[in-house]
Amino acid sequence: MTTQMMIELIAVLTAVRDDVPQVMTIDHGRLLPSGPLESTHRSLQAGVRAWVERQTGHPIGHVEQLYTFADHDRLLGAEQGRMIAISYLALTRSHAGETGWRDWYDYFPWENCKTDAGRDCLTIIERLLCKWVAGMDNAAVRVRQWQRCVTLFAIGDMVAWNDELVLQRYELLYEAGLVAEAGCTPESTVPGRAMHHDHRRILATGMARLRAKIRYRPVVFELMPEEFTLLQLQRVMESLSGVHIHKQNFRRLIMQQQLVEETGGIEEHTGGRPARLYRFCGEVRQARYLAGTKIPLAQP
Amino acid sequence: MTTQMMIELIAVLTAVRDDVPQVMTIDHGRLLPSGPLESTHRSLQAGVRAWVERQTGHPIGHVEQLYTFADHDRLLGAEQGRMIAISYLALTRSHAGETGWRDWYDYFPWENCKTDAGRDCLTIIERLLCKWVAGMDNAAVRVRQWQRCVTLFAIGDMVAWNDELVLQRYELLYEAGLVAEAGCTPESTVPGRAMHHDHRRILATGMARLRAKIRYRPVVFELMPEEFTLLQLQRVMESLSGVHIHKQNFRRLIMQQQLVEETGGIEEHTGGRPARLYRFCGEVRQARYLAGTKIPLAQP
DNA sequence: GCTATTTATGCTCATATTGAGTATAAGCCG
DNA sequence: CGGCTTATACTCAATATGAGCATAAATAGC
């Protein structure tokens, strides 16, 4: 009855470079950093850190658990028992061009609504989903699924785009047969890079978690350099969420929450008036850290 | 190097009975329902459902993953490899007095700030924590730990009580040696029932997750009967969060979000004017479901 | 030097949301 | 009937939010 299991640790390691969110990959972008839990690992987190740091050389800041999977897809041999995958979200500061980093939006172009490429991709998806539901026999099912498409992809502006529904959107596209999870279908009809196994889905889970978390916890600062201007901070937030932010309101909210303090330094090369430099000071203000953070994320 | 693992599934099954949140236990309240993942289970969720329904007879509504643990405390024998525990939060409607149900606040009396018993417990904790930090050598550490106590337990009204920090509070008490996790220390100085292994900690994780989730997703309705009055709904929310809610504002927010619709029925025996009965209608309004829910949770 | 352009930063204003309270309705109990 | 309870509608002030105007201070082109 009871079977022994193999445990695999998988990391969605994210950094932001030149205002583009990136994820660490191996195998030419087809796999996330991952490896089996070993007896030398003192804990699951330690195991993830070991695997990731072996591949990047970076110390990782924030690490948090994402999800534990054990689908029947993940069966090993009949006698060997099942494979269980424990996934983690890890954040690190900007890197100096090591290999393995790939843009988030290479895998999920439709999630980058800020850019023309993202909007074009959404147009394609809209048409394909329309065709998908049109081909359904049952009218009630057709209506319900179209409703789902409309809310998830904000079709027709009836509903606002919700940037946190990365996973739900991916799963809808997967159900509709518009993405190839295993990468073995070269005629995948929606733009975007595929990954092996369910790694693309795990990446979606990590993106969704991070987009949700930056709204109420000051985790963005794990991705920022020691000193930064407020516009740099805003650009990072925007690139992660894929949504525009009203500049003046963003500053207002950041300042009034006292998450940052001036370093006294000035960034000269802004292309305009020089900007003040700030540093994160929420670590010491533990009260505020636990109380949570608010970020204004407006619609395009 | 790579070791095989035993997987244990653990459920924090919650229901609300007579406005008191309860958790399903076994072994006279000393363990959460749990059992090993078996090869007959089609998925992890299915395994949890199987274990829980075997013990309660109830169909469970909402099930969501909480956390996966693999502490070194959880070692089996040297050769047998480690034990991994995957915990789940499960919700079910009110039950008719089966055995095994225990009040949340038997284990965490201090989390029930609404009641006098809860406030008394907090007074005791405040004194004990004060003594704990006073006994520290390093002044800097003492200040930092006292700051932590103040923010987590809202000591001295400098910070508002945050009902979601159940786990952080428990871990602080544990660090301070004020609770006995294994239940083998009869002289545990803080009120509250103990559990075996780390089950009390897992319960804390579940409580924290549920308290956080009811604020932005309509999961409360999983705990409600088919028809209910708005006061009944409010009482359930209050008992889960352990915090008072302003009645009129609560109604306003629930109504304007259109999460419920009138059934046309009337609850006569309210002790005052009869109340209208409502039912949850958010399942059909998927847009609103995905968009999220807001609940006003004020301070005492 | 002057002007257009760019970014930084301060401030205003209408609107929406929230917290708190008042007022009235409609049942029960003695 | 008056006194109690709960239900429900509405008001009002304080805050928060979304959107925009205005000014400051740099650079680039002429």
How much is the pLDDT for B300?
A: 28
Q: Is the pLDDT of residue B20 over 60?
A: yes
- List B residues 214-233 in contact with A (Cβ-Cβ < 8 A): none
* Residue B12 shares a structural domain with residue B35: yes
Please give the helix or strand (H or E) that residue A124 lies within, else none: helix A116-134
How far apart, in whole angstroms, are the C-alpha atoms of residue A94 and residue A116?
25
Q: Give yes or no for residue B290 having a pLDDT over 80.
A: no
Last residue of a domain, one of A50, A68, A103: A103
Q: Is the sign of the CA dihedral B101, B104, B107, B113 positive or negative?
A: negative
| Total beta-carbon pairs less than 8 A apart between chain A and chain B | 106
Q: Which domain does B130 fall in, by range? A: 109-191
Residue B52 lies in a domain: yes
A158, A234: one domain = no
| pLDDT given at position A55 | 81
Predicted pLDDT of residue B94: 81
Please give, rounded to a whole number of angstroms, the shortest distance from the CA of B203 to a CA of chain A. 18
Which runs of E-coded beta strand occur in B29-167? 34-36, 63-69, 83-91, 101-103
CA–CA distance, B12 with B274 (Å, rounded to integer):
35
User: Would A66 be classed as within a structural domain?
Assistant: yes
Do B88 and B60 sit in the same domain of this protein?
Answer: yes
What does the pLDDT look like over B29-43, one tens digit per residue? 999 999 998 888 888
Tokens at B163, concatenated = 């009902």
A278 closest-nt by C1' vs CA: C8
Q: Hey, what amino acid is at A183?
A: G
The amino acid sitting at A117 is: A
Q: Are residues A98 and A32 in the same domain?
A: yes
Q: Is residue B81 part of a domain?
A: yes
**Among B53-57, B78-82, B244-248, the least confident range:** B78-82
pLDDT at A83: 85
Decide which of B103, B131, B165 is a domain's last residue.
B103
Count of residues in chain A: 300
User: Which stretches of chain B are assigned E, i.e. beta strand?
Assistant: 6-17, 20-24, 34-36, 63-69, 83-91, 101-103, 260-267, 275-280
Q: Are residues A39 and A94 in the same domain?
A: yes
Output the pLDDT for position A300.
Answer: 28
**The pLDDT value given to residue A157:** 77
Nearest by CB: A43 against B70, B81, B158: B70
Q: Say how far apart CA A176 and CA A131 lie, in whole Å.
A: 10
Domain annotation covers residue B297: no
Distance CA B34, CA B85 (A): 9
Buried b (16+ CB within 10 A) or exposed e, A28-40: ebbebbbbebeee
CB contact under 8 A, B286 and A147: yes
Q: How far apart are CA B194 and CA B28, in angstroms?
A: 11
pLDDT single digits (tens) B83-129: 899 999 999 998 887 888 999 999 999 999 888 899 999 999 999 99
Q: Could you give the number of structural domains in chain A?
A: 3
- The long-range contacts involving B169-176, CB below 8 angstroms and separated by at least 24 positions, are B169/B110, B169/B111, B169/B204, B170/B108, B170/B200, B170/B201, B170/B204, B171/B201, B172/B129, B172/B148, B173/B125, B174/B201, B176/B128, B176/B129, B176/B132
The string over A239-255, giving b where at least 16 C-beta atoms fall within 10 Å of a residue's C-beta and e elsewhere, is bbbbbebeeeebbebbe
Residue pLDDT, tens place only, B137-166: 999 999 989 989 998 999 887 788 899 999
Q: How many helices (H) and strands (E) are present in chain B, helices listed first? A: 9, 8
Q: Does B36 touch chain A (CB under 8 A)?
A: yes
CB atoms within 10 A of CB A155: 17
**B296 CA to D15 C1' distance (Å):** 15
Helix, strand, or coil (residue B46): helix
Q: Are residues A37 and A98 in the same domain?
A: yes
Nearest CA to B280 out of B215, B224, B213 is that of B224
Same domain as B69, residue B116: no
Min Cα–Cα distance to chain B from A223, Å: 24
What is the pLDDT at residue B187?
Answer: 60
Domain of B95, CATH number, reads: 3.90.79.10
Can you give the CATH number for the domain in which B255 is found?
A: 1.10.10.10
Tokens of B164: 């979601």
Could you identify the residue written with the tokens 């439709």?
A: A110
Inter-chain contact A84–B39, Cβ cutoff 8 Å? no
CA atoms within 13 Å, Cβ hemisphere of A215: 14
In a domain, A241, yes or no: yes
Task: Say yes or no to pLDDT of B283 above 90.
Answer: no
Kindly state whether residue B226 falls inside one of the protein's structural domains: yes
CA gyration radius for chain B?
A: 21
**DSSP 8-state code for residue A134:** H
Q: Which of residues 59-88 of A touch strand D (CB under 7 A)?
A: none
Mark which of A103, A137, A155 sits at the end of a domain: A103
- Beta pairing partners, B84: B7
The pLDDT mean for chain A works out to 87
Residues A55 and A93 in one domain: yes
In 3-state terms, what secondary structure has residue A117?
helix
Beta bridge partners of B266: B276
A268 burial class (0-12, 13-18, 19+ CB within 10 angstroms)? Answer: exposed
CA dist., res. A287 & res. A284, Å (int): 9
Is B56 in contact with B95 (CB distance < 8 Å)?
yes
Residues contacting A47, CB < 8 A, separation 6+: A9, A35, A37, A38, A41
Q: B96 vs chain A: nearest CA distance in angstroms?
A: 33
Give the closest residue to A82 by CA, choosing from A197, A5, A1, A7.
A5
Task: Say whether B240 sits in a helix, a strand or coil.
Answer: helix
From B296, B300, B289, B102, select the one nearest B203 (Cα to Cα): B102
Same domain, B84 and B12: yes
Q: Which of A286-295, B169-178, B282-291 has maximum average pLDDT?
A: B169-178
So what's the pLDDT on residue B158? Answer: 77
CB contacts of A86 in chain B (<8 Å) are 68
Nucleotide nearest to A229 (CA to C1'): C8
User: Are residues B39 and B61 part of one domain?
Assistant: yes
- Here the tokens at position B60 are 């469970």
pLDDT of residue B298: 46
Q: Give per-residue burial for A187-198: e unless 16+ CB within 10 Å, then b.
A: ebbbbbbbbebb
Give pLDDT tens digits for A174-207. 999 998 765 555 565 788 999 998 999 999 999 9
Q: Is residue B76 part of a domain?
A: yes
Nucleotide nearest to B273 (CA to C1'): C27
Task: Find the residue in A nearest to B86 (Cα).
Answer: A68
- Which residues does chain A have with pLDDT short of 70? 1-4, 71-81, 181-188, 284-300
CA angle B220, B228, B105 (to 5 degrees): 50
Decide if pLDDT at B19 tops 50.
Answer: yes
Quick check: A4 and B2 CB within 8 A? Answer: no
| Statement to judge: residues A76 and A117 lie in one domain | no
Residue the block writes with tokens 């930056």: A214
A32 close to A116: Cβ distance less than 8 angstroms: no
Task: Write out pLDDT tens, residues B196-243.
Answer: 989 999 999 999 999 999 988 899 999 999 999 999 999 999 999 999
- Answer whether residue A276 is part of any domain: yes
Residues B25 and B57 in one domain: yes
